[in-house]
C-alpha cells in the first residue's frame, strides 16, 4: 500500500543514541565513519567479539528533574528526552497550543521489558512480598509514549506500535495518516528502545546474537510531523517534507518481484540518498538495489533495534540538501517492509 | 479512496467464554459468566485466584506438536480466531495478497512462556530457548500474516487495554482510505503471571468475579483470548456476495496526558473521544442505543466512565445503557476491545443489550442504566465500544448493523 503525503513537513528532530544526545553528535559520527559500539561483556553475550550500542553517556537528569526521572523506566526517559529536543527544535511549546491537536505515535520494541524482568525477578526471588507495585505501570510498551504525553501535556492521538524492525516506520505511517485525516496538526513520531544485559542473554539463548540481533542498540529518536499549513501559519521552518509512505507486510513466495515493485515503484531510482533500517541489506531484492548508491546506515555505528528506524529517518532528514529526494528503506526478516520518501526542504532551520 | 462503509464480513473468537463464535454467542445470550478458578499457574499466594481462563486448552487440538512448540499461547489463540474469521468471510483469493493486511492489538504476547524462561534462569536451571521465541507481542501478527497469506499492511498496536480497539479503528481506516481492500483486525492476549501479579500488586483485582458499576466492587478479573473481524469495503463485499455482519463506522483516540495509572477524574478526554468517534462516523448521540463500556470494575474507572457518558449524552444519559461484558469474559487486556466488539456485534444482530453480570448493589456514584437485571430488547442499530488503558490511552469505536 502507498499512502501519499502531500501536506506534511518535518519541523523538528531529537535523538538520544550511543553517539550522545542530539542530532549533531549523530551526524558527526556518520561523517567521521567512526563507531559508538562498545564490547558486550563476554559473560553477558556468552562469548567474545560482540558489540552493542549502549547509550552509556545518557543521564536522565540532564533532561528531567530527578524526582520525575526516578518514576520512569529508562526507555521512557529516552523518549521524554528525545521528544523534548524535537519540540524545542520545532519551536513548539505544547502548552501554548491546543493540546488536543498534538499527539504521539511511537514505535517501541523493547519498552517495558526491563521493568517486567525486574518485577518478575522480585516475585520469583521473594514471592508476593518481593513484588514492587511501582514497577508494574511501566511494564507496558506504551509507557514511553504515555510518559511523553504526560510530561509535555499532549492530549491528541496517542498510540504505540511494534512490528519487528519496522516499529518506528509503522508509527510514522500512522502519524502521517492522523495529520492527513485532520485528527491532529502536530504528531511526534519515531521510536524508543532500551537494551539490557538480560535481553542479550535471551538473544544468545535463541541464537540471535549471531544473526539479526548482532550489535543491538538503544535510544530514541523523535520527529515532529506537522501539517504544512499549520507550520506555515506559525512561521516554522521545515527540515523536510514527507512525499509518500509505502509498505507491504511480507514477500509472497513466487511473487516477490511484485511485492518489491509495490513497495518501491520508482522511488529507489529517484532518491539520491537512502537510509537503511532493519535487515534491508540481508533482503536480496532490496539489498541488491543499494549497489553504488549513497546510503546512511546508522545501525553500523549505533547498533540495530526494533524501533531505531526513527534514528535512521532523523539522520536522513538532517543530511538531505534542499530539494534533494531521500528514501528510507526498512525491512524485517519475516516482514514488514517500508519505503518512505522525503524531500529536503529549502527552508531549513538555521 | 473508497466511498462506501467499512463492513464486517467475518468474525472469529476464542476465549474463556467460548471457543468459537457460536459458543460465545450462546454464552452472551444466556448471560453465562466464564469466570472461574485459574490453573494456568500457581495463584495460591494471591488474594484473588480467579479469572476467565481458556481452561483445559490443549494446543494439539489445533496444531501439530512441532508448530505448537514454536508458538506462544497468544499466537495460538490469535491463529485460531483469525482462522475462524477468515474462513467465515470466504475472502481468501478474492484479491491480491498484497491488498490484504492485518492490524492487531496485543498485550503481554508471549510473556507467559518468557517468564518460565526467566524463572528457570534465576533458579540456575536449563530452560528451552523456544520459550522466548514469541515474547514480543508483534509475533502474533507475523504468524497470522504468514499462515493466511496476508501480505499487505502488517502492524501491532500495543497500548495495553485499548490496543485492539485502536487496531480495529485503524484497520477500518486503511480500508476506508482505499489503502487496503481487506484488513483482518482484532487482538490476542494470554494470561501471564506478570499481569496477574501486577494487577494484584496494585490491589485492583477483585477476589470475586468482577462486578462493574456495582456497590462494593473491588476491581478487575483477568481474562484471555483472541477475536478478529474481517473488514472490507462494502461495495467489494457485496460484489463478491459476502455475508455482512455489521460495520465499523469510525473511531477516535486520544491520550489523557494525565497519569500512568489513574484516569482523568472528570472524564473530559473520554467524553471528547466518544464525541469525536460519533462525529467521524456521521452518527448523532440520539442514534446510539447503548455503550459497551470499558467497565473494568475498578472503583475509579466505573465512576469516571459514567461521568464521561453524562458529559456526552446529557439528559439522555440514563436512557443509553452503559454495560460491561467484562463481567462475562474477564478483562482480556490487549484482546479486550476485540472481544467486546464481537459481543457488541452479536448483541446488535440479536437486537438486545447484554447485561452487566455479577450485580452486588447499586452504587450511588454509578447512577446510569447498566442492565444489571438482565438483557433487554433494543431496536437501535448503533452502539459505542469504549476502551481505556494504562497511560491514559482512550479509544472509542462506533459499530453498527
Residue by residue, what is the 3-state secondary structure of chain B?
CCCCCEEEEEEEEEECCECCHHHHHHHHHCCCCCCEECCCCCCCCCCCCEEECCCCCCHHHCCCHHHHHHCCHHHHHHHHHHHHHHHHHCCCCCCCHHHEEEEEEECCCCHHHHHHHHHHHHCCCCCCHHHHCCCCCCHHHHHHHHHHCCCCCEEEECCHHHHHHHHHHHHHHHHHCCCCCEEEEEEEECCCHHHHHHHHHCCCECCCCCCCCECCCCCECEECEEEEEEEEEHHHHHHCCCCCCEEEEEEEEEECCCCCCCCCCCCHHHHHHHHHHHHHHCCCHHHEEEEECCCCCCHHHHHHHHHHHHHHHHHHHHHCCEECCHHHHCECHHHHHHHHHHHHHHHHHHCEECCCCCCCCECCCCCCCCCCCCCEECCCCEEEEEEECHHHEEEEEEEEC
Residues of chain B where predicted confidence (pLDDT) is lower than 70: 1-3
Give the nearest partner residue to A1 out of B45, B152, B258, using CB atoms: B152
Q: Which residues of A27-61 are buried (b: 16+ CB within 10 A; e: fewer)?
A: bebbeeeebbbeebeeebbeeeebbbbbbeebebe
| Cβ contact, residue pair B201, A121, below 8 Å | no
> Distance between CA A45 and CA B49 in Å, rounded?
39
C-alpha cell read off for B217: 466492587
State whether residue B135 sits within 8 Å of chain A by CB.
yes
From the candidates B43, B121, B138, B183, which should be mutated to test the interface with A, based on the most A CB atoms within 10 A? B138
Q: What pLDDT was estimated at residue A95?
A: 85
* Backbone CA torsion sign across B209, B213, B216, B218: positive
From the candidates B48, B74, B98, B119, which should be mutated to test the interface with A, based on the most A CB atoms within 10 A? B98
Q: What pLDDT was estimated at residue B133?
A: 82
Give the nearest partner residue to B194 out of A116, A142, A258, using CB atoms: A116
State whether residue A288 sits within 8 Å of chain B by CB.
no
Mean pLDDT within A9-37 = 97
> Could you give the percent of chain A with pLDDT greater than 90?
85
How far does the CA of residue A182 sit from the closest CA of chain B (Å)? 11
| Cβ contact, residue pair B201, A131, below 8 Å | yes
How far does the CA of residue A295 sit from the closest CA of chain B (Å)? 26
C-alpha cell read off for A105: 505515535
Q: What pLDDT was estimated at residue A211?
A: 61
Q: What pLDDT was estimated at residue A350?
A: 36
By C-alpha distance, which of A23, A53, A308 is closest to A172?
A: A308
Q: What pLDDT was estimated at residue A349?
A: 44
Taking CA atoms, what residue in B is nearest to A136? B198
State whether residue B268 sits within 8 Å of chain A by CB.
no
Tally Cβ neighbours within 10 Å of residue B23. Answer: 15
| Cβ contact, residue pair B138, A251, below 8 Å | no
How far does the CA of residue B238 sit from the closest CA of chain A (Å)? 23
- On average, the pLDDT of chain A sits at 93
> Distance between CA B158 and CA B156 in Å, rounded?
6
C-alpha cell read off for B307: 461521568
pTM tops 0.90, yes or no: yes
> Distance between CA A87 and CA A99 in Å, rounded?
13
Q: What pLDDT was estimated at residue A140?
A: 94
Would you place residue A3 in the very low, low, confident or very high pLDDT band (cuts 50, 70, 90)?
confident
Catalytic residues of B: 161, 294, 331
Residues in chain B within 8 Å Cβ distance of A174: 155, 170
Which residue matches cell numbers 463481567? Answer: B327
| Cβ contact, residue pair B97, A252, below 8 Å | yes
A-B interface: how many C-beta pairs under 8 angstroms? 218
From the candidates A211, A336, A338, which should be mutated to test the interface with B, based on the most B CB atoms within 10 A? A336
pLDDT per position as a tens digit, A257-298: 999 999 998 777 889 999 999 999 999 899 988 888 999 999
Cα-only R_g, chain B:
20
Would you place residue A169 in the very low, low, confident or very high pLDDT band (cuts 50, 70, 90)?
very high
> Distance between CA B393 and CA B336 in Å, rounded?
14
State whether residue B233 sits within 8 Å of chain A by CB.
no
Mean pLDDT within A145-171 = 97
* pLDDT higher than threshold 60 for residue A348: no
Taking CA atoms, what residue in B is nearest to A131? B201
| Cβ contact, residue pair A120, B129, below 8 Å | no
- DSSP-assigned letter for residue A251: P
Which residue matches cell numbers 507550520? Answer: A231
Q: A residues 65-94 near B, CB within 8 Å?
A: none
How far does the CA of residue A72 sit from the closest CA of chain B (Å)? 10
Q: What pLDDT was estimated at residue A2?
A: 76
Which residue matches cell numbers 549502549? Answer: A54
Amino acid at each position: 500500500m502507498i499512502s501519499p503525503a502531500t501536506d506534511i513537513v518535518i519541523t523538528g528532530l531529537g535523538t538520544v543514541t550511543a553517539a550522545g544526545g542530539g542530532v549533531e553528535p549523530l551526524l558527526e559520527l556518520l561523517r567521521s565513519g567512526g563507531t559508538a559500539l562498545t564490547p558486550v561483556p563476554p559473560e553477558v553475550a556468552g562469548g567474545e567479539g560482540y558489540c552493542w550500542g549502549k547509550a552509556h553517556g545518557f543521564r536522565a537528569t540532564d533532561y528531567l528533574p530527578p524526582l520525575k526521572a526516578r518514576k520512569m523506566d529508562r526507555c521512557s526517559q529516552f523518549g521524554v528526552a528525545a521528544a523534548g529536543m524535537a519540540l524545542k527544535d520545532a519551536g513548539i511549546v505544547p502548552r501554548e497550543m491546543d493540546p488536543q491537536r498534538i499527539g504521539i505515535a511511537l514505535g517501541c520494541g523493547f519498552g517495558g521489558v526491563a521493568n517486567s524482568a525486574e518485577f518478575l525477578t522480585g516475585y520469583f526471588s521473594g514471592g508476593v512480598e518481593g513484588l514492587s507495585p511501582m514497577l508494574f505501570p511501566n511494564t507496558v510498551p506504551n509507557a514511553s509514549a504515555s510518559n511523553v504525553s504526560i510530561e509535555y501535556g499532549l492530549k491528541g492521538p496517542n498510540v504505540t506500535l511494534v512490528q519487528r524492525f519496522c516499529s518506528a516506520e509503522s508509527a510514522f505511517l500512522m502519524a502521517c495518516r492522523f495529520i492527513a485525516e485532520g485528527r491532529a496538526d502536530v504528531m511526534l513520531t519515531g521510536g524508543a528502545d532500551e537494551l539490557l544485559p538480560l535481553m542479550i542473554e535471551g538473544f544468545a539463548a535463541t541464537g540471535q546474537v549471531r544473526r539479526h540481533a548482532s550489535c543491538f542498540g538503544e535510544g530514541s529518536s523523535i520527529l515532529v510531523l506537522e501539517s504544512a499549513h499549520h507550520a506555515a501559519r506559525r512561521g516554522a521552518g521545515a527540515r523536510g517534507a514527507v512525499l509518500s509512505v509505502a509498505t507491504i507486510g511480507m514477500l509472497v513466495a513466487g511473487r516477490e518481484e511484485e511485492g518489491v515493485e509495490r513497495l518501491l515503484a520508482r522511488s529507489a531510482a529517484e532518491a539520491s540518498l537512502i537510509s537503511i533500517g532493519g535487515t534491508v541489506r540481508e533482503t536480496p531484492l532490496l539489498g541488491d538495489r543499494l549497489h553504488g548508491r549513497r546510503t546512511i546506515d546508522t545501525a553500523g555505528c549505533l547498533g540495530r533495534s526494533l524501533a531505531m528506524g526513527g534514528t535512521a529517518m532523523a539522520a536522513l532528514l538532517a543530511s538531505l540538501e534542499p530539494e534533494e529526494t531521500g528514501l528510507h528503506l526498512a525491512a524485517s526478516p519475516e516482514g514488514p517492509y517500508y519505503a518512505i520518501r522525503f524531500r529536503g526542504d529549502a527552508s531549513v532551520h538555521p | 479512496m473508497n466511498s462506501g462503509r467499512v463492513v464486517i464480513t467475518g468474525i472469529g473468537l476464542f476465549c474463556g467464554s467460548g471457543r468459537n463464535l457460536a459458543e460465545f454467542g450462546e454464552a452472551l445470550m444466556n448471560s453465562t459468566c466464564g469466570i472461574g478458578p485459574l490453573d494456568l499457574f500457581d495463584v495460591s499466594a494471591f488474594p484473588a485466584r480467579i479469572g476467565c481462563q481458556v481452561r483445559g486448552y490443549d494446543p494439539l487440538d489445533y496444531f501439530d506438536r512441532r508448530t505448537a512448540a514454536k508458538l506462544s499461547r497468544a499466537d495460538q489463540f490469535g491463529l485460531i480466531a483469525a482462522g475462524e474469521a477468515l474462513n467465515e468471510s470466504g475472502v481468501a483469493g478474492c484479491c491480491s495478497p498484497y491488498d490484504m493486511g492485518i492490524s492487531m492489538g496485543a498485550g503481554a504476547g508471549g510473556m507467559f512462556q518468557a517468564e518460565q524462561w526467566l524463572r528457570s534462569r534465576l533458579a540456575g536451571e536449563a530452560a528451552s530457548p523456544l520459550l522466548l521465541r514469541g515474547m514480543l507481542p508483534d509475533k502474533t501478527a507475523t504468524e497470522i500474516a504468514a499462515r493466511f497469506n496476508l501480505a499487505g499492511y502488517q502492524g501491532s498496536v500495543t497500548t495495553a487495554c485499548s490496543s485492539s480497539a485502536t487496531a480495529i479503528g485503524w484497520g477500518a481506516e486503511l480500508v476506508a482510505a482505499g489503502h487496503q481492500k481487506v484488513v483482518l483486525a482484532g487482538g490476542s492476549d494470554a494470561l501471564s503471571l506478570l499481569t496477574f501479579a501486577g494487577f494484584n500488586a496494585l490491589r485492583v483485582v477483585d477476589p470475586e468475579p468482577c462486578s462493574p458499576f456495582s456497590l462494593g466492587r473491588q476491581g478487575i478479573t483477568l481474562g484471555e483470548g483472541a477475536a478478529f473481524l474481517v473488514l472490507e469495503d462494502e461495495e467489494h463485499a457485496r460484489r463478491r456476495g459476502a455475508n455482512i455482519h455489521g460495520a465499523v463506522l469510525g473511531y477516535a483516540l486520544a491520550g489523557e496526558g494525565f497519569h500512568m495509572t489513574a484516569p482523568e477524574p472528570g472524564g473530559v478526554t473520554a467524553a471528547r473521544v466518544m464525541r469525536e468517534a460519533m462525529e467521524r462516523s456521521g452518527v448523532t448521540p440520539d442514534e446510539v442505543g447503548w455503550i459497551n463500556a470499558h467497565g473494568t470494575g475498578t472503583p475509579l474507572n466505573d465512576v469516571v466512565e459514567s461521568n464521561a457518558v453524562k458529559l456526552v449524552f446529557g439528559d439522555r444519559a440514563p436512557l443509553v445503557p452503559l454495560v460491561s461484558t467484562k463481567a462475562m469474559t474477564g478483562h482480556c487486556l490487549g484482546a479486550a476491545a476485540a472481544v467486546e466488539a464481537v459481543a457488541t456485534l452479536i448483541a446488535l444482530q440479536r437486537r438486545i443489550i447484554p447485561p452487566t453480570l455479577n450485580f452486588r448493589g447499586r452504587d450511588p456514584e454509578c447512577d446510569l442504566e447498566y442492565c444489571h437485571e438482565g438483557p433487554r430488547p433494543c431496536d437501535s442499530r448503533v452502539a459505542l465500544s469504549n476502551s481505556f488503558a494504562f497511560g491514559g490511552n482512550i479509544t472509542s469505536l462506533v459499530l453498527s448493523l
